[in-house]
Chains A and B, each alone.
Chain A
Amino acid sequence: MDSFQGLLSGFQVALSFEGIMFVLIGVVVGTLIGMMPGLGPISAIAIMIPLTYGMNPAPALVMMAGVYYGAVFGGSTSSILLNAPGISGTVASSFDGYPMAQKGQAGKALAIAAISSFIGGTVSVLLLMLLAPALSSVAISFGPPAYFALMLMGLTAISSLSEGSTTKALISAVTGFMVVTIGIDPQTGTQRFTFGNVNLLDGFDFLIIALGLFAIAEVCMLVLNRKNRSLSDSQKLGSLKLSKADFKEMSGPVSRQSFVGFILGVLPGAGATIASFISYIFEKKLSKNPEEFGKGSIKGLAAPESSNNAATSGAFVPLLSLGIPGSGTTAVMLGAFLVLGVQPGPLLMADRPEIFWGIIASMYIGNVFLLVLNLPLIPYLAKILSIPRPLLISLVITFSLVGVYSISFNVFDLYMLLVFGIIGFLMRIYSFPAPPFILAFILGGMMEQSFRQSMTISNGNFNIFVCSPLPLTLLIIAFLSFSVPGILNWRRNRKNAKV
């Protein structure tokens, strides 16, 4: 049993003094950087690469992996406390995490996030260990037509992401999709809606939109309510302890979404952001009380948090077993491997089992560290909310601006953050939901590209979407998830009418 021996040697690496030290350093640095405004796993890994020069590859890579999932772990803090997502994978965590914190349950929200992340991380490492070799074929089975179908499936969920007027939700989504068409079109090199402005050539970074629509818009609401004493609930930390009922409520979403997140993480290009959104929608659809979502539902927070961490481990499947970086972050991670003279790829498991299995084994330990380190920190982190409101408002604004600036170092993007902040505020007061906007922004771009890639490959023939089983299955699921709730509603209404 080769993998078993490999795993043993992996645990030898991970459990050595050196291994434990570097996992610890990695996850601590990762969490801290992840909590910084705008700095996500990409910057965290890039920052740490120079420190690994001259180190042994196994401990160095164990540390870098720790930095990666540590940053994802830490990223949720600002989403929950300030509605200011530090990284794109935690936007969905703010949908219910922030309302919870506002209700005076900040401590509980952070604890749920930490525990869900821990379980998501651990379950997915287990899957990674058992399935990495087998899953590598899944990772490459998705061609452009399948991606198109997958993105379409995600988009059909827009109506379920919001309540109230469907027209308004659709308008939000269409405008979000329109925003993503700004910039150079990858398939033709055509500049679309750039007005000759160099700053628009690359389109808008996801974080500009997310911080604008969520953090800055929220700041506006805080400004309006700054004297409202009844809101001082949020200044209470609330109890950290989770009741049995809470655990029971979490268990469903966490156990399901750890799998969903892992699978989506395995697919190159999908990643933690898409995984967290899809998990959120998934749980909302399953829930008996979908109306609680968006108002501080435990399920609504546990689902994306377990999913984004699971996706992070999932992303190691194509990286380690195929040498394919499925995202910007894993591409930088690949760079870290190369710097250390390790080439990830189909031969890594055979050539360097201690590295392959060492990374996987260290993730168990890393996740335990993250949980143990983060839980005691929660009371201190949650104190952020007891900062007097005017000061907090100023700090959140600064935080968002620095976050955006450290992505591109371009002042133009700061103005755009302001513009999207105003748009987000207007959407808020005129009851246009923001989540469909952001979802369409994420999925729309990839959907358009994969659609057009497919059409070029097939010489303009639509058959490419229905003639192979994978895209067809996904399209059918998309169609069902779109139509079934509608039909059910219609039947229910008819029944009601009869009665």
Chain B
Amino acid sequence: MIKTMNQRIGLILFLLAAVYLILSYQLPSYPYTAVDADVIPKGLGWFLLVLSFFLYFSKAIETDAEKAKRAIPKKEVLVLASVFGMIFVYILFFELIGFVIMTAIFIFFSSWFLGYEKWKTNLAVSILFPVILYCIFVFALGIVLPKGILPI
């Protein structure tokens, strides 16, 4: 039944629209307004529901170019996932450890991971970039970035 990519996405969007609609119908009502807060969301929810049907039953066949676009080798998916993992760790410790250290670590490791071999340049950039950015933001512009464990 679920053969084409469009059908799969259609199904996901259908579920999304359904959840959104359920939530819309649970919005509390407010008595003193002509058009309440739930009207537009309900409309949007139903619209997406209809669109998901359209997509599901659409006869459009994926072009080769489109197929090629989403054909990503397994190994590359893993690489992407790792990059996202690194960003996640970066955000996780962003305030705790501080902008400068985390950014330096992040730039160094993610550049290296993605295949940047010149480790000396890498090291220099990953230290200088956050330090300079930090100085500009904090000292020149008065915008506080998390200092974390560093004294300044």
Give me the interface of A with B, judged by CB distance under 8 Å. Answer: 33, 36, 39, 43, 47, 50, 165, 167-168, 170-171, 174-175, 177-178, 181, 185, 187-190, 192-193, 219-220, 223-224, 226-227, 388-391, 393-395, 397-398, 401-402, 405-406, 409, 411, 414-415, 418, 421-422, 425, 428-431, 448, 451-452, 455-456, 458-460
Contacts and interface: CB of A to CB of B under 8 A. Distances in A.
Given A220-B80, A429-B72, A448 B40 contact: yes
B27 A190 contact: yes
Interface string B97-138: 001000100110011111110100110011001100100110
B110 A171 contact: no
B139 interface: no
B94 A414 contact: yes
A358 to B, nearest CB: 27
B55 interface: yes
A224 B72 contact: yes
Q: SS class of chain A's interface: helix, strand, loop or mixed?
A: helix
A456 B40 CA distance: 15
Nearest to A187: B33
Contacts of B137: 36, 402, 406
B115 A411 contact: no
Contacts of B126: 394
A175 B94 contact: no
A168 B66 CA distance: 13
5 contacts: A185-B37, A395-B129, A402-B145, A418-B88, A425-B80
B125 A190 contact: no
A174 B55 CA distance: 14
Contacts of A171: 13, 48, 51-52, 55
A181 B43 CA distance: 12
A261 to B, nearest CB: 28
Contacts of A431: 66, 69
B34 A455 contact: yes
Contacts of B44: 174, 177-178, 181
Interface in B63-80: 66, 69-70, 72, 76, 79-80
A187 B37 contact: yes
Given A36-B136, A190-B28, A394 B143 contact: no
A409 B137 CA distance: 13
A397 B80 CA distance: 13
A190 B41 contact: no
B103 A167 contact: no
B91 A414 contact: yes
Contact of A223 (B27, B48, B55, B114): B114
